[in-house]
Structure 1
Amino acid sequence: MKLGLQLGYWGAQPPQGVGELVAAAEEAGFDAIFTAEAWGSDAFTPLAWWGRETSRVRLGTSIVQMSGRTPTSIAMHALTLDHLTGGRVILGMGVSGPQVVEGWYGQPFAKPLARTREVVDIVRKVLAREAPVTNDGPHYPLPYSGPGSVGLGKPLKPIVHPLRADLPIWLGAEGPKNVAQTAEIADGWIPIFYTPRTAGMYQPWLDEGFARPGARRTREDFEIAATCHLQVVADAAEKQAVLDALKPVIALYMGGMGAKEQNFHKNVFERMGYAAITDQVQELFLAGKREEATALIPTELADEMHIVGTAGEVKERVAQWAETGVTTLLLSSRSAEEIRQVAELLA
């Protein structure tokens, strides 16, 4: 199992010390560096900025929000960065949720699975550069001929010859149908809140996708990149403090990321067996009572989602994640020293 550094997306200000983290990850033998986006910083620019100092690690997005750019624009970003990095890009994409898609990007959220399939198909056509790119699908028709069209759209091929037609595309997916489609059409899967205990829930969904006619990959060459926080602690008291510090983020995703009527992250926690608290956490969080919502997050959930413990416990937990089929563990980290410590421990 490979290690990746998850830089995530920015808070109110650009994070400090990221260059040191990236340099440490490259030095320590990490396989990849990933960035993310929500409705603030974008995923591509930080990857290009900090990635320019690297020469070996793969550079991935986890995830690019499909509604934020047209499919051909996404492909342009990917092929440009792939050239600049000598073929090290992993294009991770996802549909986000209706609050962000319709509230921030001003795009319709309906039919997320069909939209995903169209986006992946168009991106692959751009990267293949075999013919001018067209698409007959209803979501991203190329050329466009709908309302407001002047009727002069022309199918085009990218001016730049892409470095790799097979640039890997990984998809963020949460529900059964989306995970199955990901196994069918993508090169990898970026799950959210994946844990060894719940890994079995996903296996039939993945198997369904692999079994579909024309599936792109098999389980043997399909990548699964799971994100967690990994930290070595001295004792139980320090472990509890670390887990407590992780609970506010869990409360945010369970209660505040998405609309009350539709929160895909909340649905994942319910599938994980925490339905008894999800409604109450959401109610408190949306009412502005974030501390009360956080107080409801069980320590065992934080412990299940992350790898926190003594050196021996961490090694044992990492092995459990690897046994479930995870090929890359995407880790958040606070310092270069922590990155070196993790790499040495798991070497």
Structure 2
Amino acid sequence: MRFAIEIGSVRAGGLVLMADWVRHAERLGAAMAFSAEAWWSDAATPLAYLADKTERIRLATGIMQVTARTPAMAAMTALTLHDLAGGRFVLGLGASGPQVVEGLHGVRFRAPLTRLKETVEVCRMIFAGEKVDYQGRVFQLPLPDSEGKALRIAHEPAEVPIYLATLGPNALRFTGAAADGWLGTSFSPDHPEAHLDFIRDGAGRAGRSLADLDLCVSVRVEIGDDVEAMVQRRKPGVAFNLGGMGSATTNFYNDAYRRAGYEEDAKAVQALWLAGRREEAAARVPDAMVTAFQALGTADMVRERLRRYRAAGVTTLKLGLDSAPLGPARFELLEQIADLMKDIE
């Protein structure tokens, strides 16, 4: 089982530290560094900055929002980063959610899975060097009854891995059928079936298996003795995922917790959050909804949790190390985790 890191949001005064962080992870053997986008920096530009400052670590978007750019622009950006990074780029795609999509980008959150599928298909056409002649439900290229013509991107065919961040059952099935990797969130190694059963089903229908995908799962890691304090600090974040990462009717994170057996708790926390009772929502999160989905505690406790992720079939752990500010403390925490990872191999 490999490990990956998150880059975090980019600020002008923090570029040198960001590069140091990624190079430090590279020295420790990290497989990938992920750049995200939501309502801060975009996912692609930081990777361009890091491309000539690193040598081996793969640089990945985690994720690039498919509603924020056309499929052709996503593919051209991916090819540019592929070239800048010497073939080390990984294209992570996701649908995001209605609050960001409709609130920030002004795009209706309609048929998100269809948009994701068609984006993947168009990207693969471009990566293969084909002309972009595609007629889908969301995208018609070239537009019918227009002056457009089918074009081929001026780039030789390239192998660009595509990872998908998916949570809903049908989206997970599509991931199993079509993706090179899965970017998993709201995942518990105690309840892997809540996600992996659907990925396995989709893979099987496409003549594949789970072994054909890199199962890359996010996990928050914190090492220390005061486990109770760690759990309490993380409850507001869980409450935000359950209530704030979506709308009252569309929240893929909440749905994932429900499938893992926390339906009553997930509904209750969401209701409190949506009613504006944020502190009560955090207090309503049971300890198990923190400890079962994260790796917290002493070094021995964290080591055992990491073993559970490996036993569940996870092949890459995307480490969330927000318990330590970016700097010496986070560098040291990553060193500790890298040592623990060696222990479980």
Match of 1:320, SS? Answer: helix
The question of 1:231 aligning with 2:257 is answered no
2:259 maps to what in 1? 271
Matched with 2:39 is: 39
| Residues 240-249 or 167-176, more deviating | 240-249
When the two chains are superposed, the root-mean-square deviation of aligned CA atoms in Å is: 2.0
How many residue pairs get matched? 334
Tell me which moved more, 85-94 or 335-344. 335-344
CA 1:203–1:280 in 2, change beyond 3 Å: closer, same or farther? closer
Query: 1:154 — aligned with what?
Result: 149
Deviation at 1:16, TM superposition (A): 8.9
Partners in 2 of 1:198 and 1:189 — Cα distance? 17
User: TM-score under structure 1 normalisation?
Assistant: 0.90
Residues 66-101 of structure 1 show CA distances to partners (whole Å, capped at 9, x for unaligned) of 100000100011110010011111111111122222
Q: Do residues 251 (structure 1) and 242 (structure 2) align? A: no
Q: Distance in 2 between matches of 1:200 and 1:218?
A: 15
Which residue is 2:114 aligned to? 114
Residues 186-335 of structure 1 aligned to structure 2 (within 5 Å): 186-213=179-206, 215=207, 217-233=208-224, 235=225, 238-333=226-321, 334=324, 335=330
CA contact (8 A) 1:284 1:292 kept: yes
Q: In structure 2, the residue corresponding to 1:27 is in which secondary structure?
A: helix
Which residue is 1:48 aligned to? 48
* d(CA) in 1 for partners of 2:167, 2:289: 18
Q: 1:343 deviation in Å?
A: 1.1
Instruction: State the alpha-carbon separation in 2 of the partners of residues 88 and 37 from structure 1.
Output: 20
The residue type paired with residue 287 of structure 1 is A
Using the TM superposition, give the Cα deviation of residue 18 of structure 1 relative to its aligned residue in structure 2, in angstroms: 2.6
Secondary structure at 1:59 match in 2? strand
Counterpart contact for 2:10–2:46, Cα < 8 Å: no
Deviation at 1:36, TM superposition (A): 1.1
Q: Percent identity?
A: 37
Segments of 5+ residues of structure 2 without an aligned counterpart are: 325-329
Amino acid of the structure 2 residue aligned with 1:206: I
Q: Which has the higher contact order (CA 8 A, sep 6+)?
A: 1
Deviation, structure 1 residue 14: 7.0
The alpha carbon displacement at 1:260 in A equals 1.2
Unpaired segments ≥5 residues, structure 1:
none
The letter of the residue matching 1:156 is L
**Could you tell me how far 1:108 is from its partner in structure 2?**
2.6
Using the TM superposition, name which of 262-271 and 104-113 deviates more: 104-113
CA–CA separation in structure 2 for the residues paired with 1:222 and 1:181: 12
Using the TM superposition, give the Cα deviation of residue 171 of structure 1 relative to its aligned residue in structure 2, in angstroms: 0.6
User: 1:40, CA displacement in angstroms?
Assistant: 2.5
CA contact (8 A) 1:64 1:92 kept: yes
Pairwise CA distance, 1:48: 2.2
8 A contact 1:20–1:336 mirrored in 2: no
CA contact (8 A) 1:21 1:339 kept: no
Q: What do residues 208-234 of structure 1 show as CA deviations (whole Å, max 9, x unaligned)?
A: 211224x5x43223110000112221x
- Per the alignment, residue 137 of structure 1 pairs with 136
State the Cα distance separating 1:145 from its structure 2 match: 2.7
Partners of 1:52 and 1:305 in 2: how far apart? 35
Q: How does 1:51-130 map to 2 (within 5 A)?
A: 51-129=51-129
Name the CA distance, whole Å, in 2 between partners of 1:288 and 1:113: 30
Compare 266-275 and 285-294 and name the one that shifted more. 285-294
| Alignment-derived partner of residue 170 in structure 2 | 177
Which residue identity is paired with 1:160?
H
How far apart, in 1, do the equivalents of 2:212 and 2:204 lie?
14
Asked if structure 1 preserves the Cα contact closer than 8 Å seen for 2:114 and 2:137, the reply is: no
The aligned residue for residue 29 of structure 2 is 29
